[in-house]
Amino acid sequence: MKKFIVTVAIALGFVALLYLAFINHNEAYEAGIARNLFTGETTLQSSGYNLTAFWVQVAHMDTRPTRVCVTTTARAFNCRLVQFEPGAWREFIAVQGFRYYWWANRLSFNWGYDEEYRGVRDLLRGYGFGVKKYKFTTVLRDYSDE
């Protein structure tokens, strides 16, 4: 019995290691941008489970409309509804570069504000309020925070 338990534990550990090294999952509302560390090739992954080599990094981009706001106490125009357009992912990589956008600046401390200054939401805030417009972001609506 003890040998069986050890065998099952080793098999489960092997399956977990296989999953962590070679499989990634994109939700239906995410676009996965994969980058091969050896060749530098980038591709767009479909939703669901994707089998990749362990040297391929995948950044998950949320494609749902996101409310982004400029942090201010003013009651004027300070929010927009912005959406990432996965069809223009190559332009996004050309402008922004590739990295784990969620992990970027993970140790920032913003006491006193509800907004995070990191991740995809922060990128959308910057491009949503930027003067230059890019194909990979669409401003769906401007509204004030009331």
- The enclosing H or E element of 141 equals strand 137-143
* DSSP per-residue string spanning 67-132: EEE---S--SS-EEEEEE-GGGHHHHHHHH--S-TTTTTTT---TT-SS-SSHHHHHHHHHHH-SS
pLDDT tier for residue 41 given thresholds of 50, 70 and 90:
very high
Higher pLDDT, 113 or 9: 9
Average pLDDT over residues 115-128: 77
Q: What is the per-residue pLDDT across 73-104, written as a single tens digit (0 to 9) for each? A: 776 677 889 999 999 999 999 998 887 665 55
Global pTM reads: 0.74
* CA separation for the pair 123, 134 (Å, rounded): 12
Query: Range with the lowest mean pLDDT among 18-22, 40-44, 45-49, 124-128?
Result: 18-22
Q: What is the per-residue pLDDT across 98-109, written as a single tens digit (0 to 9) for each? A: 876 655 555 555
